Structure 1
Amino acid sequence: MGEAIWINAKLYTGQRVIENGRMIVTENGTIRALGDELLPVPAHARVIDCNGALLMPGFIDVHVHGGNGYGMMEGTYEALDGISRFHARHGTTAFLATTSTAAKETIVRALRNAAETIGKTSGAELTGIHLEGPYLDEKRRGAQSKEHLRLPAADEIDEFTEAAGGHIRLVTLAPEIEGGMEAVERFASKGITVSAGHSDATMAQVEAAVRLGLSHTTHHFNGMSPLHHREPGLAGAGLMLEELTTELICDGIHVHPSVVKLLFEMKSPEKVCMITDAVSPAGLPDGEYGEVIVRSGEITLKNGSSLAGSSLTMLQALKNAIQYTGFPIEKVLPSMTIVPARQVRLDRVKGTLAPGKHADFVLLTPELDLLSTHVRGVEVFRSDND
């Protein structure tokens, strides 16, 4: 591949904006240097002229189940690679394959397959696993399988983490269920970020879980006890507790645009983690797909009782967040890059553009249309090749 220098870009490093920016990418796919037009062009380096395009860190999605007809729970390499290619077409450069509540053997198979596929996808890089369920509260289960919900047990937690080969980076559970607090502590002791979701927890229960290691909430406002003036619930706790970073599905369906603005203003972008929660039919035409129906981008169970994931992409989430909040790109961008990287302990190598970090980046037009997606310096999507 050789060393390359990207020139004439509006460079968003994740920490600052550099007009007429330049970035040098090494042969092994890391960033060697970045700066303005004074940064010299190395001898023998390929020179790529960005012609004024926006160059920014690639998006990191820590909560994605599928896309373009592929689902993580299929338990195959083809499914995970299909997910990676679909989301790379929308600016995602790294993701956590996310499970759903299912029979234990189905979850174990999906975990093993994901562990074997880490680093082998051809689109966005599969960097780990998000275990969502099966330790959820039935009252807030949403589209999660009622039949397979269960209480956490130490031996099963150990079996799941072993099947995943140590690659579980995030877990969603309901801390208030029997054994939930012990599960928070057990997962946290393994270095796994613990998130409260599909939970009916009270404020006091959330505070207790935070003391045991809880640090994240799953798709905030959705699938959780709501904010009430006499009981703040998990929704209120997420807004008020500094220790908690809140996930956000910014599609204008799961959370009203005004509430998106409220969340960003109350928590700050450094405590908001944008996700897609995309499921298998994301990117497909309207219609029925198994147990769900897709209508104008909204995905629900056939009986209409619950939303069932989303058809959102990270690029659309960026556009929506800018529109809903009125914030500039550089203020929203951390919620899609360094915040998710930090929350799942990838921030040493991903999340910002800086020397020594992976060259995971996207090129966008000034109108925020995607030109190309790059993972560790390799182009994995280009719009004119689509």
Structure 2
Amino acid sequence: MEDIIIHSATIVNADRTSPNQFIWIRGGAIRRTGSMDLLKQNVPEEIRLRAVMVDGSRGFFIPGMIDMHIHGVQGADAMDGTAEALETMARVLPAEGTTAFLPTTITQKSENITRALEKMAEYRAAAPENGTAEIAGAHVEGPFFEPSKAGAQPAEFIVKASVDLFERWRQASGNAVRIVSLAPEHDPGFALTAHLQRIGVTASAAHSNASKALVDEAVKKGLSHVTHLYNGMSGLHHREPGIAAAALLNPALTVEIIADGVHSHPDMVQLAYQAAGANRLCVITDSLRAKNLPDGVYDLGGQQVTVAGDKPYLPDGTIAGSMLAMDKGFRNIQAFTGCSREEAVRMTSLNAAHEIGIAERKGSIEAGKDADIVWMDESEHVQKVWCRGRLAATAEQKGGVQP
């Protein structure tokens, strides 16, 4: 079993920055961390002599980022329903600092969603333990939406929320669904929302025209999350506070934000940070298969999406997903809000780990957790990434380290 010791490192977790540290990695997990003064005391000499030693004195180390809302990257999409697409996502994403993610479905025919979730279950069962980003479950975005707020969700496949339909998908996924995005006003009696809470799945408000009052009522039934704040929802209005206001004001809600400067003006990202705080915000990408590829025309759920620069859009001009990478989101959230580096770690890793139920093994660099570690230089660009203890990406290998 290979031992890796990163020494002389600065570790940035959500609660503190610790300089001059070591990180002892063994068997895909972090065995121990601590001050360099305690290295000899905490790591036996025979292990130090044979371990791979990594000089971490330049830059800093953060826990692997967790993207809880991503459709695709580099030509692959979760809705392709193939092992190849999922493997591409898992191999490529570490280059942007992502070590765990939720492949996200889109509003489509029920059988298409079923096939995509079945393939995720198969992939998770057969996937290698290390060396690629982990598929930590699935995010089902739709089809339980309000048609007038469909955005890039194909409106012809929208249906009312159904516990029975969701349960068929949950079974198809191998019980791996972690988030369901839905319009609260189309969940009769909040039946699905309450069901999701009972079984430990996050219910998230999305593509909805609900009032703040209705959202607050849904929170009492189990709603706990808001999908891509400001986008696809009733917005801020001084006489009719909608979902956006509920997201900012209700302390029971965690809130996704696409910090790309396209989906939301940087000032609106700052407003979210000042109102909700770093403890409730989760940076996500909502990225498409076109990410990492040249400008052009691509498919999203059977729709034509044109990508020009950082903006993907439908033929009618509707914005459709993003080109954002998580490492850029990490830099942007600091630039837009003035938050600390520690808070950026919280919003790109720890909050998501808690929200999708994996915080016992991800979201921070500490003993006993998965060795999901991102090494950044002082300009906050990714230098190396370890996924469960195995080198998965370097600055020179943007497509991911080949197994």
Deviations 1:47-106 (A, max 9, x none): 211132211101000000000110000001110111122211100000001000100100
- Give the structure-2-normalised TM-score: 0.93
Q: Which residues of 2 match residues 3-152 of structure 1 at below 5 A?
A: 3-26=3-26, 28-41=27-40, 42=43, 43=45, 44-45=47-48, 46=51, 47-118=53-124, 120=127, 123-152=132-161
Give, in whole Å, the separation in 2 of the partners of 1:288 and 1:110: 22
Classify the secondary structure of the residue corresponding to 1:84: helix
Deviations 1:223-261 (A, max 9, x none): 000111122110100010000011000000001001111
Gapped regions of structure 2 (runs ≥ 5) = 399-403
| Percent identity for Structure 1 against Structure 2 | 36
Structure 1 residue corresponding to 2:181, chosen from 172, 176, 186: 172
Deviations 1:33-56 (A, max 9, x none): 212221214322322111322111
Structure 1 residue corresponding to 2:309, chosen from 296, 301, 304: 296
Partner of 2:284: 275
Partner of 2:250: 241
TM-aligned CA deviation for residue 180 of structure 1: 6.5
TM-aligned CA deviation for residue 264 of structure 1: 0.8
8 Å CA contact 1:143–1:301 kept in 2: the answer is yes
Partner of 2:217: 208
Partner of 1:378: 390
Classify the secondary structure of the residue corresponding to 1:38: helix
Structure 1 residue corresponding to 2:233, chosen from 224, 235, 242: 224
Deviations 1:171-203 (A, max 9, x none): 100011152611111222221011001111111
Classify the secondary structure of the residue corresponding to 2:112: helix
Partner of 1:319: 331
8 Å CA contact 2:13–2:346 kept in 1: the answer is no
Give, in whole Å, the separation in 2 of the partners of 1:140 and 1:227: 15
8 Å CA contact 1:15–1:352 kept in 2: the answer is no
8 Å CA contact 1:202–1:231 kept in 2: the answer is yes
- Give the structure-1-normalised TM-score: 0.97
Report the AA paired with residue 98 of structure 2.
T
Give, in whole Å, the separation in 2 of the partners of 1:178 and 1:108: 20
8 Å CA contact 2:96–2:382 kept in 1: the answer is yes
Give, in whole Å, the separation in 2 of the partners of 1:214 and 1:207: 9
8 Å CA contact 1:270–1:339 kept in 2: the answer is yes
8 Å CA contact 2:259–2:329 kept in 1: the answer is yes
Gapped regions of structure 1 (runs ≥ 5) = none
Give, in whole Å, the separation in 2 of the partners of 1:239 and 1:344: 20
Give, in whole Å, the separation in 1 of the partners of 2:355 and 2:189: 21
Which deviates further from its counterpart, 182-191 or 217-226? Answer: 182-191
TM-aligned CA distance change 1:303 to 1:379, over 3 Å: same
8 Å CA contact 1:170–1:195 kept in 2: the answer is yes
8 Å CA contact 2:371–2:389 kept in 1: the answer is yes
Give, in whole Å, the separation in 2 of the partners of 1:286 and 1:293: 8
Give, in whole Å, the separation in 2 of the partners of 1:199 and 1:284: 31
**Are 2:322 and 1:310 aligned?**
yes
- Provide runs of 4+ in structure 1 moved above 4 Å: none
TM-aligned CA deviation for residue 283 of structure 1: 1.3
Give, in whole Å, the separation in 1 of the partners of 2:228 and 2:268: 13
8 Å CA contact 1:224–1:235 kept in 2: the answer is yes
8 Å CA contact 1:131–1:168 kept in 2: the answer is yes
Deviations 1:125-168 (A, max 9, x none): 11100010010111111000111101122221211111111100
8 Å CA contact 2:162–2:187 kept in 1: the answer is no
Give, in whole Å, the separation in 1 of the partners of 2:260 and 2:155: 26
8 Å CA contact 2:151–2:320 kept in 1: the answer is yes
Which deviates further from its counterpart, 247-256 or 226-235? Answer: 226-235
Report the AA paired with residue 220 of structure 1.
L
